[in-house]
Structure 1
Amino acid sequence: MAAMRGGFRFNSRVAPPVHLGRILFAALLVVPLLLGTARANPMLLVDMRSGEILAAEDAGQPWHPASLTKLMTAYVAFAAIRQGRLSLDTPIRISQNAWNQAPSKSGLEVGSSITLRDGLYLLIVKSANDVAVAISEAVAGSEKAFVAEMNQIAAAMGLTATNFVNPHGLHNKAQVTSARDLAVLTLYIRRDYPEYLPLFATEAVMLGTAKMESQNGLLTSFLGTTGMKTGYVCASGLNIVATNERNGRSLLAVVLGASSARERNEMTAELFLKAEAGQVRGTGQSIVAYANASGVAPRDMRPLICGKDSKEYVAAREKAFPYGLKGQPSFLTDTVTGPVHVATDLGRIRTIPWPRPRPVYAPTTVAGGVSLR
């Protein structure tokens, strides 16, 4: 039976959630942000209480998620914990496959173990690719099986622009999502697993003497920021999903393809401030009803971000959007001290069965959606 929560219609019988993408997808409504500068890349601003899109630009455009992929990696791990397949105290091991991943990495050696709890902090805060693989192997027995679960849950959520190839977000041309899908995924995390929200608001992780800080600059410079994740590869540009709760507003912003961390963070803060000031008044459309673009290839930002045209492109973006540059005004003027999580390297634990046995994964189709329990 469906239930209304915070303005969203969910099927309360299933967790992970039901397929939302089959309702109200009759039209694609693109609402220009009109924030004073030309916007070439996807942006989205959502009222998290009502689900209303306050502003959107190319939010259904397929895009490479980079490390925003780890939002789904975390969701699948949360679901596995709830299902009893493992616990926050379960040791996870850095296999050779995990250790082989390209940076960003945790610095853990092959064979080292950490608890899943610490692994989740390293996954989200440090954005550690080796830990993403270690979590996937611990949850599903193999990276491949875990990715299959990621895609099944994405389909159940109605993320029609989304396809995962790996659990970390290192570039693969087939790893695709959209701003719309990332917003829906974030809302599901907040609805289904609110107990883990402090994880996304954590500023840094200590592992031994190493302090690994979040790349989400809003956590330390914009009051009310509660998460969620940043990501970057050359093909995607600099991405962010951010949530903010202050002055009576509960807001979610997605900015994809920025030319720098400065631009990404300042644009996100500007969106929040515009909403607080009433300068973006909403579209009347639910995020659930926003249609992804079909038959469109993901945009490749590599030539502009890392290629021969990058210097000229970044200079043009700085001219068009100078906020936060030296001598220019900034939207990020607060000083916030966020929580720091202390993780522990458990060393080599030889008694961990590998891969860990788990229940057969057999989703059951139910009326109105898909149950993954």
Structure 2
Amino acid sequence: MVVEAHSGKVLIATNSTVKRPVASLTKVATAVLVVDWAEAAGVDVATREVVVPASVAQLPGANPMKLVPGERMSMLDALSSAVMGSDNAAALTLADHVGREFLARKGRSGDPVQAFVVEMNHLAEALEMGKTKFTNPHGLELPSSVGLSTAADIAKLSIYAMRRPGFTFISRQKVREVTVNGAEGARTFKVNNTNELVSETIIGLKTGTTRAAGECLSVAVERAPLIRPKADGSKGVTPRRLIVVLLNSPDRFGRAKALIPRGWAIYDEWVRGGAVVENRKREILSVPDPR
């Protein structure tokens, strides 16, 4: 799916409502939920520390920082590793920490990661992602734990995520150095963004790959605002941003690069024609603000 984020205009859509595993695109929901929680709770993600939980020891998949239970890092560094480096252990650590906060606020006990996943699904419901169900915070396909979504739903999630400066700040970086504090002291890692398209104009979001999901990608593409004179003599400013979502695409980066100019061409033609909408439900992807 290709959609212009500010107008919601759907520009290209093929099989965009078919449910599929979405791999680490799941981490977009994880990260934006953490960012929203931190803002609501007045928490500074740069100084709040998170503790690697015991469950990381049983987690398959990417653990590039070789995190072990009991180690500590800032929430910002965990977010950076999860979003940029697609770090499953960092995503699980964030979910465990914030899930404990959710449980404490409700005066309940239980599995903090599952409490976090419940809130991920509440977020999906609030964003009207009607065909999405998250089962974990990282997107791995575990026994009896395979999350499903659609290109259209991931586009909604991506539009919302890119409205959040705390998320955008992380997802648009090419590289970042993070620090982990362990039993032997502090160690640093260079986290490279798995989204190789990130540039001055491509400002996020996320990659994902598993055997079941194939190669997945969501990118946000920024363009200079459109400035036009208004009848009263003032100038109207129209921001412009494309969201491109690909699921199970063998050449996700090449395909995305081809879809970006096509999307802009379709959008420009629509604007020149007066931005007419004949069937809002079919032509516009509506993304509410759940906050």
TMscore range, shorter length: 0.7 to 0.9
SS at match of 1:288: coil
Deviations along 1:146-196, one digit per CA (max 9) or x if unpaired, are: 0011111111111111001100000146410001111111111223x2243
- Listed one character per residue, the Cα deviations across residues 303-322 of structure 1 (whole Å, up to 9, x for unaligned) are xxxxxxxxxxxxxxxxxxxx
Alpha-carbon distance in structure 2 between the residues aligned to 1:98 and 1:175: 19
> 2:128 corresponds to which residue?
158
Letter in 2 for 1:213: N
Could you tell me which residue of structure 2 aligns to residue 275 of structure 1?
Answer: 263
1:107 alignment partner, SS class = coil
Please say if 1:98 is aligned against 2:56.
yes
TM-score w.r.t. the length of structure 1 is 0.61
SS in 2 for 1:49: coil
Aligned to 1:114: 73
The percentage of aligned residue pairs carrying the same residue is 25
Once residues 209 and 371 of structure 1 are traced to their aligned partners in structure 2, the CA distance between those partners, rounded to angstroms, is 36
CA shift for structure 1 position 85: 6.8
The answer to whether the Cα contact below 8 Å between 1:55 and 1:280 also exists between their aligned partners in 2 is: no
- What corresponds to 1:287 in structure 2? 285
Q: Aligned partner of 1:113: which letter?
A: R
What is aligned with 2:92?
A: 133
In structure 2, runs of 5+ residues without a counterpart are 101-111, 179-186, 226-239, 271-275, 278-282
- Report the Cα distance in structure 1 between the residues aligned to 2:114 and 2:167, rounded to whole angstroms: 25
Which residue matches 1:216?
A: 195
Where 2:119 maps in the other structure, the secondary structure is helix
Gap regions ≥5 residues in structure 1:
1-43, 290-368
How far apart are the structure 1 equivalents of 2:31 and 2:160? 12
2:243 matches 1:252: yes
Do 2:82 and 2:91's aligned partners in 1 also have CA atoms closer than 8 Å? yes
1:201 to 164, 167, 172: 172
1:231 correspondence with 2:208: yes
Q: Deviations over 1:207-250 (max 9, x none)?
A: 44543312211115xx5100000001000100000011136542
Amino acid at match of 2:214: G
TM-score (norm 2): 0.77
Once the two structures are TM-superposed, the CA of residue 96 in structure 1 deviates from its matched residue by 1.6
Partner of 2:41: 84
| Contact persistence 1:91–1:116 (CA under 8 A) | yes
CA contact (8 A) 2:4 2:267 kept: no
Which structure has more helix as a fraction of its residues? 2
Report how many residues are paired. 244
Where do residues 351-370 of structure 1 align in structure 2 (5 Å cutoff)? none
| Residues 204, 211 of structure 1: 8 Å contact kept | yes
Q: 2:246 aligns to what SS in structure 1? A: strand
For 2:242, give the aligned amino acid. Answer: L
Q: What is the one-letter code of the residue matched to 2:168?
A: L
Query: What letter is aligned with 1:218?
Result: L
Query: Partner amino acid for 1:269?
Result: K
> 2:127 matched to 1:168?
no
